[in-house]
Amino acid sequence: MKKKRLLPLLLLCLVLLTGCAEMGDPGPSTPDNPPQDDGPIVDPIPVPAGLDRFALPYYAGETLDPVTCADGPHQAIGALLYEGLYALDEHFEPQSVLAEGYTYDAEALVYGVTLRGGVTFSDGSPLTAADVAATLERARRSDRYGARLADVIAVTAADDTVYITLSRPNAAFPARLDVPIVKAGTENDPVPVGTGRFVWREDEVTPYLALNEHSRRTQALPLDRIELVACKDVDAMAYAFFSRQIQLVTWDLTGTVPFNATGANSYTDVPTSIMQYVGFNTNSPLFSDPALRAAVSLGIDRETCVKSCLLGHGQAAAFPVSPSSPLYPASMEQPWSSEAYAAAMAEAGYDSGKERRATMIVSAENTFRVQMAQQIAQGLSACDVKITVKSLPWNEFRQALATGGYDLYYGECKLPADWDLSALLAENGALNFSGYTDEELPALLSAVATAPANRRGPALRALYAHLRQQAPFVPVCFKNVSVLLPQKAVELSTPTAADPFYDLADWTIQWAEDTP
């Protein structure tokens, strides 16, 4: 987790809020009516570091159902209103929340998750296994959780236990069960009922979040009320943050949609399971050679790429598991050097001086990924293989992947927290565009899927050793998301990608009344 002030380099890559001057009184400045002028917004008169309130943004008129709500501020609010069977900690390890424990029948492929006793919803009604089953059934058919729960073929409830039947083995499946649970029958309400630390309330003026008197997790929290500020879009939310009307936003600062806010603010970077990688067309005459693919992995200066192209918002990774996970095999890493790359290319037979041309495609929608692809291609072109980057509109990029119209591609995908690689490596995997397979791979994947907790590390290391040799794809990094905050006003403890309030009890907030 990384805490920094928003650097000038970052600000150069964000679009400043501007507006066109219009005749007449523009009205009061609010998130939905920011001031308009002909120049960029600059820092206002310095304000005290202390806060007189804590507020979050929300989109008025949009659902807060955690299964179907849009990406953005409602997910942050949902982390306070709802809880899952498990929550992923800062190391992507599942921690029990609504679950007391589980059993796993490896032959029948059935998980039995027993609920924690005495849990009630914010309306005082008891949490039941039927409530959990209803949410999981909706989630496995949803856009947000459908891929994560694609292996679930049935969810049933009996007494205080939820039974989840899988289509294939997965001994680490609880890492996928951090789906927020809502009370069955309230999912179509604007704000479904949950079991979280806070509850949605409304007064005559505006909605707000109040402590949930039925929650067992509200002891010693530094906040007992959170204001809510309506924002119509991302620009309005950015202005509300800039003008201190809201105090926290979680955003991907190297994503496709920029967050247009500047000023004296800070950010805390949080690791995610979003991997960026170089993929190969293993059917192409050039990259059908595993020795060349393996050499490519040695030719990527990952640390420099992350610092210069992602502005440091990521973690360099040579293996397809987050470096924040205890499963990351740091001892297996090979440090980057131009000499090591040249030696690997020479051993593979690509130092003859005879040029081989290759094209790396990348989606043009994200300028940060384009820059990563260009820097990687430049470094890899030091030997015989000369790589040209071609940025394509999203639809053309997907079409090229589907039809094999590429040699390499620069991609991004979100891995599940059990680090399952089926999408990339299974013969019919959604991201296995060239249909790669080899004789050893199915057995290695099976060993990981069936390994108990005390054997999972060795099974993964065996898989990673094989991938380092065969290299059907090459990991580059795992991205961070950023929790944006007023500078010096809030010190976070351990936010996670799914929950910026993960360890809210350990926050330190500087209130205005306490400021000298």
pLDDT digits (tens, 9 = 90+) for 415-424: 999 999 999 9
Alpha carbons 416 and 319: distance in angstroms, whole number: 15
Q: Are residues 88 and 181 in the same domain?
A: yes
> Which segments within 86-232 are labelled E, that is strand?
86-88, 94-96, 99-105, 110-115, 152-158, 161-166, 180-181, 198-202, 207-211, 225-230
Q: Based on the structure, what is the number of domains in the chain?
A: 2
Q: Tell me, yes or no, whether 306 and 410 share the same domain.
A: yes
pLDDT at site 48: 54
- The whole-number pLDDT of residue 6 equals 52
In a domain, 361, yes or no: yes
66, 93, 145, 223 from 271: Cα distances, Å = 21, 13, 20, 25
379, 277: one domain: yes
**Burial per residue of 392-431, b for 16 or more beta-carbon CB atoms within 10 angstroms, e otherwise:** beeeebeebbeeebbbbbbbbbebbbbbbbbbbbbeeeeb
Are the C-beta atoms of 388 and 397 separated by less than 8 Å?
no
Give tens-digit pLDDT for 198-251: 999 998 888 999 999 999 988 889 999 999 999 999 999 999 999 999 999 999
The Cβ of residue 362 has, within 10 Å, a number of other Cβ atoms equal to: 26
Task: Kindly report the average pLDDT of the chain as a whole number.
Answer: 91
Query: Residue 263: what pLDDT?
Result: 66
Check whether 277 has a pLDDT greater than 70: yes
Question: Six-digit token pair at 354?
Answer: 């005879």
139, pLDDT greater than 50? yes
Tell me whether strands 225-230 and 55-58 are parallel, antiparallel or unpaired: parallel
**Dihedral sign from CA coordinates of 401, 14, 47, 233:** negative
Q: What is the DSSP letter of 116?
A: P
Verify that 318 and 446 share a domain, yes or no: yes
- CATH number of the domain to which 159 belongs: 3.90.76.10
Q: What DSSP element (H or E) covers 378? A: helix 367-380
Q: pLDDT at position 502, please?
A: 95
Residue 264 pLDDT level (bands cut at 50, 70, 90): low
Do 299 and 390 lie in one domain? The reply is yes
Cβ atoms of 242 and 235 within 8 Å: the answer is no
- Written as six digits, the tokens of 410 are 């620069």
Is 390 a domain residue?
yes
Of all residues in the chain, the percent with pLDDT exceeding 70 is 89
State whether 283 and 156 are in the same domain.
no
**pLDDT score, position 333:** 95
Q: Give me the pLDDT at residue 12, please.
A: 36
pLDDT at 515: 62
CA distance 122 to 200: 9
DSSP 51: B
CATH at residue 358: 3.10.105.10
- Model confidence over 371-411: pLDDT tens digits? 999 999 999 999 999 999 999 999 999 999 999 999 999 99
Same structural domain for residues 443 and 297? yes
Judge contact between 41 and 235, C-beta under 8 A.
no
In a domain, 12, yes or no: no
Whether 184 is covered by a domain: the verdict is: yes
Mean pLDDT value of segment 163-186: 98
Mean pLDDT of 154-169: 97
**Is residue 332 domain-shared with residue 443, that is, in the same domain?**
yes
Assigned domain for 467 exists = yes
Residue 42 has pLDDT above 60, yes or no: no
Question: Domain ends where: 146, 175, 195?
Answer: 195
Same domain, 432 and 303: yes
Query: Is residue 207 in a domain?
Result: no
The mean pLDDT value for 457-473 works out to 97
Predicted TM-score (pTM) of this structure:
0.90
Among candidates 393, 381, 391, 482, which has minimal Cα distance to 76? 482
Q: For residues 487 and 27, what is the distance between their CA atoms, to the nearest angstrom?
A: 29
Interacting residues of 397 by C-beta distance below 8 A, sequence separation 6+: 361, 362, 363, 364, 409
Where among 139, 171, 195 does a domain terminate? 195
Domain with 402, as residue range(s), is 271-479
Q: Clarify whether residues 389 and 291 are in a common domain.
A: yes
pLDDT at 514: 72
Query: Is the model more confident about 154 or about 16?
Result: 154
Do 178 and 86 contact (CB within 8 A), yes or no? yes
| pLDDT more than 90, % of the chain | 83
Q: What is the pLDDT of residue 367?
A: 97
In a domain, 364, yes or no: yes
pLDDT of residue 31: 64
Contacts of 238 (CB under 8 A, 6+ apart): 17, 259, 260, 261
What region, left, alpha or beta, does residue 419 occupy, with left being phi > 0 and alpha being psi -120 to 50 degrees?
left
Q: Above 50 in pLDDT, residue 285?
A: yes
Considering the domain architecture, whether residues 160 and 283 belong to the same structural domain is answered as no
**At residue 80, what are phi and psi to the nearest 5 degrees?**
-95, -25
- The pLDDT-based confidence of 266 (bands split at 50, 70, 90) is confident
The answer to the question of residue 208 being in a domain is: no
180 with 280, same domain: the answer is no
pLDDT for the residue numbered 13: 40
| Coil vs helix vs strand at 265 | strand
Q: What is the pLDDT of residue 259?
A: 87
Q: What is the DSSP string of 395-410?
A: HHHHHHHHHT--SEEE
Helical axes 302-309 vs 367-380, angle rounded to 10°: 150
Instruction: Give the angle subtended at the CA of 366 by the CAs of 360 and 370, to the nearest 5°.
Output: 35
Residue-level pLDDT at 1: 66
Residue 66 pLDDT exceeds 70: yes
